Structure 1
Amino acid sequence: MTQDTTRPSPGLPTLGLGTAPFGNLYTATTDEEAAATVDAAWAAGVRYFDTAPHYGVGLAERRLGAALAGRPRDEYVLSTKVGRLLVPDPGGAGRQDDQGFAVEATTVRRWDFSRDGVLRSLEQSLERLGVDRVDVVYLHDPDAHWAEASTTGVAALVELRDQGVVRAIGAGMNRSAMLTRFVRETDVDLVLCAGRYTLLEQGAEDDLLPAALERGVGVVVGGVYNSGLLSTRRPPADAQYDYAAAPPEVVARANRIADVCEAHGVTLPEVATVFPQRHPAVVSTLLGLRDPGQVAEGVARAATVVPDAVWTDLEAAGLLRRTATTPES
């Protein structure tokens, strides 16, 4: 790991590329498709790339590193995560990974938020990525590991930050309450909140977002489509929500939101993509994109000018919390 004696802000762009699809999330992709996706994102001006060992048990990191190879390292921001060590398991040959990725189970994940585990995880990530540094490191999904993650895990990341090895540290998960504890009780710079601050649900406004503003911690928002429910003009009958089949009442609510969007000439996924950036605590939005077509679509959605009447009509219909669209208050 190289060291930098300064501690600059990571300067996160407002739009980033999430690489879970590079790890064959739900369905397989290829090295060539991953490379083409990064090429398209780069050409479109995307300069923030987020990954994790969990995504395809290292496959996403390897593919992202290969796709970024040769590009000036100072021209993009790179984040990865720690908390799951990858351990070879030859006995898994012929079996499918059981955590949602279309990869062979010859590598397993072991939870480890100890100092040694954090350092080993980062070293292994750097090797897979083929770089000498990352800019941001998040503790990944510490849901059942608060005691260790908030003590030895954060302490190890603070040590790396103080040494100039990384520029910013934080935690990433899909529970706003625990992220709020990280903001209030530990020395983090950023948190990555997936699925809890979206056009469909704004629970993070009750805890995380005000705490982040108060403490000067940036919030990166992921999962803006709530597992795909908001990713099309109309949610399909088999729509997913929060990594499971969407309940009928949730699908109905998404359709009511889509009605309002369409009445003003915009689409459900366009409004869902723009929505998080309305809050002053949100510094960046991550979109998990699988191919160049999705990149073009995602970048266009992020640039959509949403009429103010969309927000006011959603509020009037009880489909959006009023506080969600009035950050200046």
Structure 2
Amino acid sequence: MNDVADIVLGGAGYAGLFRAVSEEDAQAGLAAAWDAGIRAFDTAPHYGAGSSEERLGRFLRSRSEYTVSTKVGRLLYDDPSAPDGVDDFYGAPKRARLRDYSAAGVRQSVADSLDRLGLDRIDLLLIHDPDEYQAEALAGAMPELTRMRAAGVVSGIGVGVNDVDVALRFVRETAIDHVLIAGRYTLLDRRAETELLPECARRGIRVLVAGVLNSGILADPRHGATFDYRPAQRHTIERARTMDRLCAKYDVPLRAAALQFPRRNPAVAATVIGAGTETEVEDTIAMLNIAVPEDLWHELDRCA
């Protein structure tokens, strides 16, 4: 069994992020993660317009002893005219997303998620991308999540964001116990390192780090690679290529170092991986098991 106690399988990949994934391939990817020992799963209504939750639920129905986190902030509605590829999710059901960070919206979102998952409980609820809705989320969603935690409906509550400042506001102004920060604690982008990780450590808040490949550039820093879901700028590609050359000196794939990077910080409780198919999951597990020499970490730190 691999040492994956600090690994969470994210739900965007098998829900069609960037390219459609068949039901068969999605289930095979989930099975590969399970067989590798992964027992923590993070999903969201946003991922594949509900298909991530539905696929995860179908997989987990015959299994036990796992944890599931999902998110609130987007409600889904049937929409026969919904185009394919919205927010880069392909092959998704015909559903529209409506932002709603109210208390009522949270209750509706949780009920809908439980229905799609086919479960009677969610372990962790995160407010998803409240960047432009912070006031509504703080006034509506946050008190409702706090009430749910106090009532034992969920075990943990928090935020799932890409923006360090947004995460810090919720850390400092609310009683959350989890932060999922995506793309901001990676080999290329360490913005979470200065304030967010130390602040969470001081407050006993569990940090989950996602987006460690920065949407692909740290898997393959070729011309045309994406960084934060957009075409990477030349200087970013050059930094990634420099890191790639450093890794090659030690016969370590760049993606192995990128995937293992968050594990070096004791403030990080878990890494959320984005693998969506059996091949991607198996490759990710293999990368996590490659030994990365300390000298390489030092060289990568110097060019951060």
Mapped pair 1:238 → 2:224:
yes
Contact 1:113 1:148 in 2 (8 A): yes
**In 2, Cα distance between the equivalents of 1:13 and 1:118?**
29
Mapped pair 1:62 → 2:54:
yes
Task: Write the letter of the residue equivalent to 2:200.
Answer: A
**In 1, Cα distance between the equivalents of 2:92 and 2:282?**
31
User: What corresponds to 1:227 in structure 2?
Assistant: 215
Contact 2:187 2:300 in 1 (8 A): no
Where does the alignment leave 5 or more consecutive residues of structure 2 unmatched?
A: none
More deviation, 252-261/102-111 = 102-111
Mapped pair 1:162 → 2:150:
yes
Mapped pair 1:251 → 2:237:
yes
Query: What is the Cα deviation at residue 104 of structure 1?
Result: 5.7
Task: Write the letter of the residue equivalent to 1:295.
Answer: V
User: What corresponds to 1:29 in structure 2?
Assistant: 21
Select 1:305's aligned residue among 282, 291, 298. Answer: 291
Select 2:66's aligned residue among 55, 64, 76. Answer: 76
User: What corresponds to 2:277 in structure 1?
Assistant: 291
User: What corresponds to 1:123 in structure 2?
Assistant: 111
Query: What is the Cα deviation at residue 279 of structure 1?
Result: 1.0
Aligned ranges 1:34-53 → 2 under 5 Å: 34-53=26-45
Query: What is the Cα deviation at residue 34 of structure 1?
Result: 0.9
Mapped pair 1:275 → 2:267:
no
Mapped pair 1:260 → 2:242:
no
Select 1:204's aligned residue among 158, 172, 192. Answer: 192
User: What corresponds to 2:176 in structure 1?
Assistant: 188
Task: Write the letter of the residue equivalent to 2:273.
Answer: L
Query: What is the Cα deviation at residue 98 of structure 1?
Result: 2.5
User: What corresponds to 2:137 in structure 1?
Assistant: 149
User: What corresponds to 2:204 in structure 1?
Assistant: 216
**In 2, Cα distance between the equivalents of 1:145 and 1:25?**
24
Task: Write the letter of the residue equivalent to 2:217.
Answer: L
Mapped pair 1:85 → 2:69:
no
**In 1, Cα distance between the equivalents of 2:297 and 2:22?**
39
User: What corresponds to 1:3 in structure 2?
Assistant: none
Paired residues in the alignment total 301
**In 1, Cα distance between the equivalents of 2:273 and 2:290?**
15
**In 2, Cα distance between the equivalents of 1:127 and 1:31?**
18
Mapped pair 1:16 → 2:2:
no
Contact 1:177 1:207 in 2 (8 A): no
**In 2, Cα distance between the equivalents of 1:284 and 1:28?**
27
Select 2:303's aligned residue among 319, 325, 329. Answer: 319
**In 2, Cα distance between the equivalents of 1:46 and 1:105?**
27
User: What corresponds to 1:173 in structure 2?
Assistant: 161
Q: Identity of counterpart residues, as a percentage?
A: 43
TM-score, scaled to structure 2: 0.96
After superposition, the C-alpha distances for 1:155-198 in whole angstroms (9 at most, x for unaligned) are: 11111111111110000010011101111110101010000000
After superposition, the C-alpha distances for 1:189-215 in whole angstroms (9 at most, x for unaligned) are: 101000000011101112211110111
Q: Which has the higher helix share?
A: 2
TM-score, scaled to structure 1: 0.88
Task: Write the letter of the residue equivalent to 2:239.
Answer: R
**In 1, Cα distance between the equivalents of 2:226 and 2:85?**
20
**In 2, Cα distance between the equivalents of 1:190 and 1:136?**
8
